[in-house]
Chain A
Amino acid sequence: MEEIKRKLKEVLVMALRLKVPPADIGDKGLVASLGIDSINLLEILIYVEDEFKIKIEDEDLSPVLVDDIDRLVGYITARSGRSI
């Protein structure tokens, strides 16, 4: 799980062109702390799907999904069939 979380934070840095080290990104309240809007959400989705080779369903597209790293890790794990 920690490995996915670490990769996920790297993906966020890439997708959002963040100028902070991945380790500095918190685990919760990302929408507010990173100011993620609907377009950023789609940018994140592009990178997450590419990196983890999963497909995020349209009905799951929501700021709630990316607001909490643990929730997103859980979603990726479930979609990819990886064990935590």
Chain B
Amino acid sequence: MGSEIYENFLRRASAKGDAPLFYGHSPLSWRRAAVEVEELAGRFAVEKGPLVLTGKNSRGTIISFIAARHAGRMVVLIDDLKGERIIHSLGALLGTFRHYDCEGVRLGQVYGDSSPAEVPDGAAFSLLTSGSTGAPKLVLRTEQSLMDEGRRYAGRYGLHENDVILAALPLSHAFMFGLAMGGLARTGCALHLQPVPNPLRIVEALAEGNVTVLPLVPSLARLVCRALEVKRGKLRGTVLRSVIVGAGPMRKELHEALTDRLGVAPVRNYGCSEMGTLLGSLPDKPDFETAAKPFDGVEVHVRPVSGKQGMFFVRTKSPFIGYLTGDGVDTGKVSPDGWYCTGDIAEAETGGYITVHRRIGEAIHRGGRFIHPHDVCRAIERHPDVQEAVITGEDEGDGEPVVTAWVQTRPGSKLDADGIRGYLMGRLEEYKIPARWNISRSIPRTTAGKAVSTPSRGLPVELGGILGMIAAYRGAAALLWAEEVGLFEAPDMHEGDTSAASAASSMKRRGKEMLASVLSSYGVVTRNDDGAASLRSELMTPFQRDLRAFENAFFGLLSGGNGNPLKSATGESRPLDSPGIAPLYKRLMAYPGRKAALHVARGEWLKSGPVLEIGHPTGILAPLLNRSGVECCRTVSVPDLDGEAAQPDTYGAIYLFNTVRRLIGDGGAAGLKALIRLLTPGGYLLVADIFIDTPGAYAPFKPFFQVDWLLQRELHCATSDELARMCGRLGMVHGQTRDIDGLYSLSIFKK
């Protein structure tokens, strides 16, 4: 199938001939651009696999993109490919890929030593995003989604073929790319390209008189205003007709300054890398900061969580395909009928307006109270010496996030933590005042100037050592320990329960032996003083971070308070005793719960009858399902299961969650069979638990996913893989996945 973007481009080029396509530092006509596209497409077509395009905004970026689409190759847009870390990250996601330097107009190296990633046919391009988690992800988008973005801008803001968009923000930025490339592809408008977002050059370009549409992010918008202020100028008499501010809230002061200096009332744009632009404000709405209306073709839904505020869902005709992960394409973020949760809390207002308030999960839950970072930021930013603040909940191993402030002070300020704390007293509830302060003259930012929402202190981890150990060790030892110690059965074991204390003591001894064995088998770990191989925590997935937090607590407990063995091995400071290990564990186990909830909500595993959750701890799946609109989830703890067993053919799906050993006990396969009897015909039994896939790495210890153990007497399965094969032979396996961030799930349906 051909490329619609290329076909559209070719048609426009034929009609426009020598009219300019690009203005700015590298002007080019439509006719000449078409020649360059054809030449480059020929070079791209001689091989397959993803193309990684790099370079500052240049005509090469647009030409290369169109040429790559003509050649049928998926494109990844990033700023640059400097450094082993980004190459390693992309290699893990893409397999083998070709680099093309758009600025230098030259083919770069082929990187990676594995097969190129298998991406769906419709995947046209990919943007690197970190979202709110800080973990890099590749978002897979279709051509149609880009064309739709262009259509939305055309419909709302009248973008047309005579427009010239000033592209000064990086084209690897979703907002800029959607407007520039989507607009060009859809309407045939021209672009004024600038390699860096320089406010003075922007003002000059506006003064030249050909730019009609100016996209900005708030930080750059402020700089443009300042440049005009210094030059004591106001732009008048230009052809500029639309200023679109995206990727952040536009406060009233900024709205007024832009209106005054540019002579055009700016509009606010809201969107995401996954779905493109979604909401656009209109000049008639006085709430400048957040309220906007969905573009035509964008359906919105707010699922209430607290009062009128709720999770913000959107649906378009061209949703993103999924994330490209090291294990393939993760399509789990979009429901089968196309709804996507943007990850924001929003509110539906009268007149069809939507106000976006904050990110879901942004609230920090500490000490039984919810602390909204936005409230704390606002209070801190009122201090005259503060330029900007970011608030995060940092996991320090005690089971609850510590409210941490990242404060950028104004130049020359001597403000310190005590100074800000004193300022906040009486202005902010005491429990909201951050406990940790990082005060400096800069806050980590993205290339578009957005403050990184989770700045990290850059916890150094030896890449090949600790991560290798974690990958293999998983939570298995921790789970083994937790169950045998009876942590969840006797949370008060530290308060005098002698049998539990004795068991704990025994486990600590055993834990030390385990740890010594693991450390020895991995040759762990020497500290890398130059930090060259360190991995920052923001590069980890959320699961990896949660797992690490849990293991910190676990190893700390194993040490019995006599020094942390990981610290002595790595030189890394880690917390010791952690009374909050149970909540950490529960959070870890919520991963398979969420995954199962998604599958159930899609209807994949809910053929008939309600869902039964048998969880330990209980109650993780039910709220997730309820949130997804499945309200027939019944939660049963393990001891109550006997009563259920007397009612066969009751449940459409049974989710067996972290209960395998506990549920089945010595009953072997009888327990599994009893569960299958509870299913309606065609119903599914889902098994999810922490799983170890490399048992050879620590032979002294049993793999924790012990389906083999529970079934071995009758079915002779030595491992969970064998169980899956065996069930497959019996025609009972519906599917098995290992895409829950390393956890394992298996679904067995009743014949």
The listed residue (B230, B410, B441) touching A46 by CB distance below 8 A is B230
Q: Is the CB of A47 within 8 A of B230?
A: yes
- A58-B201 CB under 8 A given contacts A16-B412, A34-B411, A35-B441: yes
Alpha-carbon separation in the docked complex, A19 to B412 (Å): 6
- Give chain B residues whose Cβ lies under 8 Å from the Cβ of A36: 411, 441-442
Question: Which one of B154-162, B219-227, B430-438, B644-652 is at the A interface?
Answer: B219-227
The listed residue (B409, B410, B411, B445) touching A38 by CB distance below 8 A is B445
Chain B residue with Cβ nearest A38: B445
Interface residues of B in 509-559 (CB under 8 A from A): none
Alpha-carbon separation in the docked complex, A17 to B230 (Å): 13
Interface residues of B in 404-443 (CB under 8 A from A): 408-413, 440-443
The listed residue (A39, A49, A61) touching B223 by CB distance below 8 A is A39
- Give chain A residues whose Cβ lies under 8 Å from the Cβ of B445: 37-39
| Residue from A19, A20, A46, A47 with most neighbouring chain B CB atoms (10 Å) | A46
B480 an interface residue at 8 Å Cβ cutoff?
no
Q: Is the CB of B442 within 8 A of A45?
A: no
Interface residues of A in 44-76 (CB under 8 A from B): 45-47, 49-50, 58, 61
Q: Is the CB of B411 within 8 A of A35?
A: yes
- Interface range for A: 20 to 34
- A42-B198 CB under 8 A given contacts A19-B413, A50-B230, A50-B231: yes
B681 an interface residue at 8 Å Cβ cutoff?
no
Q: Is the CB of B198 within 8 A of A35?
A: no
Chain B residue with Cβ nearest A36: B441
Q: Is the CB of A61 within 8 A of B226?
A: no
| Residue from B199, B230, B443 with most neighbouring chain A CB atoms (10 Å) | B230
Q: Is the CB of B230 within 8 A of A35?
A: no
Alpha-carbon separation in the docked complex, A37 to B87 (Å): 26
B459 an interface residue at 8 Å Cβ cutoff?
no
Alpha-carbon separation in the docked complex, A61 to B201 (Å): 12
Alpha-carbon separation in the docked complex, A40 to B648 (Å): 69
Alpha-carbon separation in the docked complex, A17 to B229 (Å): 14
What is the minimal beta-carbon distance from A42 to any residue of chain B, in angstroms? Answer: 5
- Give chain A residues whose Cβ lies under 8 Å from the Cβ of B198: 42, 45, 58, 61
Q: Is the CB of A20 within 8 A of B412?
A: yes
Q: Is the CB of A43 within 8 A of B231?
A: no
What is the minimal beta-carbon distance from A31 to any residue of chain B, in angstroms? Answer: 9
**How many chain-B residues does the 8 Å CB contact rule pick out?**
26
B216-260 interface bits toward A, Cβ cutoff 8 Å, 1 = contact, 0 = none: 000100010011001100000000000000000000000000000
B569 an interface residue at 8 Å Cβ cutoff?
no
What is the minimal beta-carbon distance from A71 to any residue of chain B, in angstroms? Answer: 19
Alpha-carbon separation in the docked complex, A36 to B441 (Å): 7
Alpha-carbon separation in the docked complex, A31 to B196 (Å): 20
Alpha-carbon separation in the docked complex, A43 to B198 (Å): 10
- Give chain A residues whose Cβ lies under 8 Å from the Cβ of B199: 42, 46
B200 an interface residue at 8 Å Cβ cutoff?
yes
What is the minimal beta-carbon distance from A41 to any residue of chain B, in angstroms? Answer: 10
- Give chain A residues whose Cβ lies under 8 Å from the Cβ of B575: none
What is the minimal beta-carbon distance from B438 to any residue of chain A, in angstroms? Answer: 13
- A34-B226 CB under 8 A given contacts A17-B411, A18-B412, A40-B411: no
Interface residues of B in 179-234 (CB under 8 A from A): 194-201, 219, 223, 226-227, 230-231
- Give chain B residues whose Cβ lies under 8 Å from the Cβ of A16: 410-412
Alpha-carbon separation in the docked complex, A44 to B544 (Å): 41
Alpha-carbon separation in the docked complex, A18 to B387 (Å): 12
Chain A residue with Cβ nearest B449: A39
| Residue from B409, B412, B449 with most neighbouring chain A CB atoms (10 Å) | B412
| Residue from A37, A50, A61 with most neighbouring chain B CB atoms (10 Å) | A37
Interface residues of B in 36-62 (CB under 8 A from A): none
What is the minimal beta-carbon distance from B495 to any residue of chain A, in angstroms? Answer: 49
Chain A residue with Cβ nearest B227: A46
Chain B residue with Cβ nearest A20: B412
Q: Is the CB of B200 within 8 A of A49?
A: yes
- A34-B412 CB under 8 A given contacts A46-B226, A58-B201: yes
The listed residue (B196, B219, B411, B440) touching A58 by CB distance below 8 A is B196
Alpha-carbon separation in the docked complex, A25 to B198 (Å): 26
Alpha-carbon separation in the docked complex, A18 to B409 (Å): 11
- Give chain B residues whose Cβ lies under 8 Å from the Cβ of A61: 196, 198
Alpha-carbon separation in the docked complex, A16 to B441 (Å): 11
Alpha-carbon separation in the docked complex, A39 to B227 (Å): 12
- Give chain A residues whose Cβ lies under 8 Å from the Cβ of B440: 35
What is the minimal beta-carbon distance from A55 to any residue of chain B, in angstroms? Answer: 8
- Give chain A residues whose Cβ lies under 8 Å from the Cβ of B196: 58, 61
Q: Is the CB of B200 within 8 A of A34?
A: no
B261-275 interface bits toward A, Cβ cutoff 8 Å, 1 = contact, 0 = none: 000000000000000
Alpha-carbon separation in the docked complex, A66 to B666 (Å): 72
Q: Is the CB of A17 within 8 A of B231?
A: no
- Give chain B residues whose Cβ lies under 8 Å from the Cβ of A46: 199-200, 223, 226-227, 230
- A35-B201 CB under 8 A given contacts A43-B223, A46-B227, A61-B196: no
- Give chain B residues whose Cβ lies under 8 Å from the Cβ of A58: 194-196, 198, 201
Chain B residue with Cβ nearest A45: B200
- Give chain A residues whose Cβ lies under 8 Å from the Cβ of B219: 39
- Give chain B residues whose Cβ lies under 8 Å from the Cβ of A34: 411-412, 441
Alpha-carbon separation in the docked complex, A46 to B226 (Å): 8
Chain B residue with Cβ nearest A32: B441
- Give chain B residues whose Cβ lies under 8 Å from the Cβ of A38: 445, 449
Q: Give 30 A-B contacts (CB < 8 Å), ordered by A residue.
A: A16-B410, A17-B410, A17-B412, A18-B411, A19-B412, A20-B412, A34-B411, A35-B409, A35-B411, A35-B442, A36-B411, A36-B441, A36-B442, A37-B441, A37-B442, A38-B445, A38-B449, A39-B219, A42-B198, A42-B223, A43-B226, A45-B198, A45-B200, A46-B223, A47-B230, A58-B196, A58-B198, A58-B201, A61-B196, A61-B198
**Closest 8 pairs between A and B when the two form their complex, measured CB to CB:** A35-B441, A16-B411, A37-B442, A18-B412, A19-B412, A18-B411, A20-B412, A58-B196
Known: A34-B441, A46-B223. 19 other contacts (CB 8 A): A17-B412, A18-B412, A19-B412, A34-B411, A35-B409, A35-B441, A37-B441, A37-B445, A39-B449, A40-B411, A42-B199, A43-B223, A43-B226, A46-B226, A49-B200, A50-B230, A58-B194, A58-B201, A61-B198
Chain B interface residues (CB < 8 Å from chain A):
194-201, 219, 223, 226-227, 230-231, 408-413, 440-443, 445, 449
